[in-house]
């Protein structure tokens, strides 16, 4: 079942923005907004059967527009940071907007896809889906080529949300799309995520410089706080003395999956909240995932739903993606999309209960 409802009016142009809520036979609900293609709610039961929203978000459209942090949104044309806000492609330098500390370009630039209004086509059924489309002009935020993006959110019968991305271009251009949902499996109002247990199938991670741009090094996780190959609480090592943790004020790094990209989505990450019993499994075909532990949350002017204050380490993000800044690192897997090709990626977030 899919319902459509008004969410708010954009102050800059008076356009009404709508949200769409999908519900499956088991009662799981997912709400997606036209604004940013944002995941506003994911409601799933805990071990007592109580339905709670496990993603952080805001009550109003205005807060999404002004509150920042890419909360729940689709991001592109490239996710993560492009170092020095520029890249060279086919001998030509492309300059991007340096919206991160005036140095690098983050999540698509000044007005990335997280700030756009997406067209939404609902397709009802046993596994309801929302087909979102967006056109990005040649030169948009400095990127070459007209890009047409399609993102399909599908609420699967097995209490899972599938996100399938496709894009086509008329010029060679870098494309790295992802979603920036902030998860707290205890519920958005349940406090810090230190007790959440995380397991990531990654033998290496990408260190960062003082501005959180990657250095290009592929560093083994063994013997570091970044080793999540066996399940451990997020809070166990988050305050350890470590240069990358100090720079990010917690975890804010790309974890590189063992074996790299795969033809189909496979299980790569498991998150578990022992208090609620909720478990989330992440299946993806991407070579990496950005694990961000909500280090910069805490803006008092933009509380989460119901006025609940956002706080540091209040939620975590698991952004399946290509290796960040690949366009500036020739030894990384290619992220250039050519005319006549189709960019594709799929990530699935599956929810269950563990007693």
Q: Which residues are catalytic?
A: 180, 319
Q: How far is Cα 186 from Cα 119, in angstroms, rounded to an integer?
A: 32
The candidate with the shortest Cα–Cα distance to 201, out of 131, 282, 123, is 282
Residue 65 is given by DSSP the state H
Q: How far is Cα 3 from Cα 41, in angstroms, rounded to an integer?
A: 14
Residue with tokens 């958005």: 188
How many other C-beta atoms can be found within 10 angstroms of the C-beta atom of residue 344?
11
Instruction: Give the sign of the dihedral formed by CA 67, CA 73, CA 79, CA 80.
Output: positive
Q: How far is Cα 228 from Cα 225, in angstroms, rounded to an integer?
A: 8
214 is written with which tokens?
């990657």
- Residue 214 makes CB contacts below 8 A (sequence gap 6+) with 81, 83, 206, 207, 208, 254, 323, 324, 325, 329
Whether cis (ω within 30° of 0) applies to the bond prior to 336 is: no
Collapse the DSSP code of 326 into the 3-class scheme (helix H, G, I; strand E, B; otherwise coil) and give the result.
helix
213 is written with which tokens?
């741009």
- Residue 91 makes CB contacts below 8 A (sequence gap 6+) with none
How many other C-beta atoms can be found within 10 angstroms of the C-beta atom of residue 153?
22
326 is written with which tokens?
């690949």
């Amino acid at each position: 079942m899919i319902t459509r409802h008004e969410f708010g009016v954009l102050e800059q142009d008076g356009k009404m923005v709508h949200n769409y809520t999908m519900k499956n036979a088991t009662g799981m609900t997912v709400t997606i907004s036209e604004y940013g293609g944002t995941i506003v709610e994911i409601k799933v039961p805990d071990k007592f059967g109580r339905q709670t929203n496990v993603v952080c978000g805001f009550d109003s459209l205005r807060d999404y527009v002004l509150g920042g942090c890419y909360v729940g949104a689709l991001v592109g044309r490239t996710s993560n940071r492009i170092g020095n806000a520029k890249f060279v492609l086919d001998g030509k330098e492309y300059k991007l907007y340096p919206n991160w500390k005036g140095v690098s370009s983050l999540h698509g630039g000044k007005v990335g896809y997280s700030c756009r209004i997406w067209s939404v086509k609902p397709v009802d059924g046993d596994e309801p889906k929302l087909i979102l489309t967006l056109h990005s002009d040649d030169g948009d935020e400095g990127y070459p080529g007209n890009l047409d993006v399609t993102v399909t959110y599908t609420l699967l019968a097995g209490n899972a949300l599938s996100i399938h991305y496709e894009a086509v271009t008329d010029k060679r251009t870098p494309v790295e799309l992802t979603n920036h949902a902030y998860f707290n499996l205890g519920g958005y109002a349940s406090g810090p995520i230190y007790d959440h247990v995380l397991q990531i199938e990654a033998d290496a991670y990408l260190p960062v410089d003082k501005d959180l741009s990657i250095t290009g090094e592929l560093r083994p996780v063994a013997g570091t706080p970044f080793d999540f190959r066996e399940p451990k609480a997020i809070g166990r090592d988050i305050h350890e003395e470590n240069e990358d943790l100090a720079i990010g004020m917690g975890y804010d790094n790309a974890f590189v999956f063992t074996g790299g990209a795969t033809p189909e989505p496979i299980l790569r990450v498991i998150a578990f909240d022992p208090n609620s019993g909720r478990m989330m499994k992440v299946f993806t075909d991407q070579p990496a995932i950005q694990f961000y532990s909500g280090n910069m949350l805490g803006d008092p002017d933009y509380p989460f739903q119901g006025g609940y204050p956002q706080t540091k380490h209040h939620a975590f993000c698991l952004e399946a993606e290509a290796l960040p800044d690949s366009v500036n690192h020739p030894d990384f897997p290619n992220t250039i999309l050519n005319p006549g090709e189709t960019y594709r990626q799929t990530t699935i977030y599956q929810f269950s209960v563990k007693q």
